[in-house]
Structure 1
């Protein structure tokens, strides 16, 4: 397991890294064969547009480093933080106007994955059994907002979040997690905004074909894990390979990965990075298929806990 050393400089370098989101089609109808998350690319664009964002994110990293052992405090329901979710549906076709049942299935997946109730949780290999974690956060559907559009795709410039550009503005983004279901294009399954960004664009975007368990959801991304991955980003988790060859995700108990993994890698899958560790390919923050990801680590749980504690970037969700 890697040792994590966090400094403002190192964090800034991490945030500036771009991940290659290669996909050979921009077709609205083509189904992605490999996971592509645009969160890091969107972050890079936001940093370029707003240099002060790097300062805010470095302050968040410094706070996180000091509070990694903090426990959740504040608004609790049955002993857990409960996050209200607003789902904003932008649709051009009937299939894109995902049903309430499909939306609820996604909320159900989030509740299972973030509470170690997923049926594949026990598939975690013995090597990682000591660090697999129950995050202990619950989600409740607060509202569904629907809007018809003529757009064939929305891209990753946050247009879907802006009324003036035909989108839907977020509802109470400091106390509710906003999710947008819309056709993104470019083979992108989804993306999220990391803590520190503007509240007017805060939340998670997911293509309707990879949202939840039913309706327009398509294999190999039909188990709702795209949202689990993106909400992980929204809660300040990085890609497990650190968006660089043998990079750092700022979590001490996740092995160093060469790069992203796709499909469902055979276990054990060894890294060629220093020490040749076995990669934690089944972690939600890798790029494997939905059926291949089924765990968070204790270090990731601690990193998430820090943003919800008093003074944390998302402390308003725990009030």
Structure 2
């Protein structure tokens, strides 16, 4: 098990860029990715370059998170988060239905409340740390906008009215999701706590939004949403975006790299101590069917951002 790393600045050194990101050509937009690709870390690194003060804010959030974990001053009870879904579409298929949107909300509620049917598949080795995060998501509003764009890339254009997108609705009290074709084989990305409210939220390609049908397997069970909302709630990739890196959580094993597909259990790390990797964790890169748990350490890390003074405390207010 890993020791917590105290500051986000140290963490940011560890999180190396692992995914190629691009605006996406028409052929890229149509291509079906064979491996999960989340651009959250790439987007974070671009934001850090554009805004030097973001590193300071994230360092403060990390210090506050560790203080909350050490003092035990975490939020009690359930947090209910209203969700605004912004649909940007060019084709009928991209104009996803209300039923598909609701299916994503349902998946989030199951996965963040340990109600997913595969929760009991967690191996005995990790049964003692598997967690019910205890966050409820409620669909608040669906906003739709027709567009001529074939792909949006990862520069947050979909969040900006001036660039043809939809600005977030009440981002300090509502989680905004954007459904749009990202391109470049990217399934989704999220903004970590500390970023600008004008771009806060999660972006998911419509092919991987909720229960999107067998044609979009193996990413058709809504777990892209769970993974990206995990980032929005301050969780890192489980391998720390570096070889044998740290995800800043004490009870997840050290992974040497991302895992793909549905790895056979047990899957051993090549890092020091060769621990069994928690490949079924939502913050790995496995197929939707291969991820089905958060850990207690991740739960506590999430809870810290909702405490008084936490980065997302405004969501915890009545």
TM-score after normalising by structure 1: 0.95
* 2:73 pairs with 1:70: yes
CA distance in 2, matches of 1:97, 1:34: 24
Question: How many Å separate the matches in 2 of 1:288 and 1:65?
Answer: 28
Name the CA distance, whole Å, in 2 between partners of 1:284 and 1:29: 26
Does the CA-based 8 Å contact 2:21-2:42 persist in structure 1?
no
State the 1:317 CA deviation. Answer: 0.2
Q: Which residue of 2 aligns with 1:146?
A: 144
Is the CA contact (8 Å cut-off) linking 2:238 and 2:247 kept in structure 1? yes
Q: Secondary structure at the match of 1:84?
A: strand
Cα distance in structure 1, aligned partners of 2:272 and 2:264: 21
Aligned positions of 1:161-172 closer than 5 A: 161-172=159-170
Matching residue of 2:249: 251
Contact in 1 for aligned 2:5/2:11 (Cα 8 Å): no
Match of 1:5 in 2: 5
Name the CA distance, whole Å, in 1 between partners of 2:89 and 2:8. Answer: 41
CA contact (8 A) 1:38 1:190 kept: yes
Q: Deviations over 1:100-158 (max 9, x none)?
A: 00000000000000000000000000000000000000000000000000000000000
**TM superposition shift of 1:32:** 1.5
Q: Could you say what secondary structure the match of 1:247 adopts? A: coil
Q: Cα offset for 1:90?
A: 0.1
1:204–1:295 distance in 2 versus 1, CA, 3 Å: same
Name the structure 1 match of 2:177: 179
State the match for 2:199 in structure 1: 201
When the two chains are superposed, the root-mean-square deviation of aligned CA atoms in Å is: 1.6
Partner of 1:46: 47
CA positional deviation for 1:8: 5.1
Aligned residue-pair number: 313
The match for 1:76 is none
After the TM superposition, which segments of 4 or more aligned residues of structure 1 sit over 3 Å from their partners? 21-26, 214-217
Would the alpha carbon gap of residues 188 and 301 (structure 1) be closer, same or farther in structure 2, given more than 3 Å must change? same
Which of 281, 290, 293 does residue 288 from structure 2 map onto?
Answer: 290
**TM-score where L is the length of structure 2:** 0.95
Partner of 1:228: 226
Partner Cα distance (1:284, 1:8) in 2: 21
Query: Which of the numbers 79, 97, 100 marks the counterpart of 1:99?
Result: 97
CA, structure 1 residues 184+217, in 2 after alignment: closer, same or farther (shift >3 Å)? Answer: farther
In the other structure, the counterpart of 2:31 is: 30
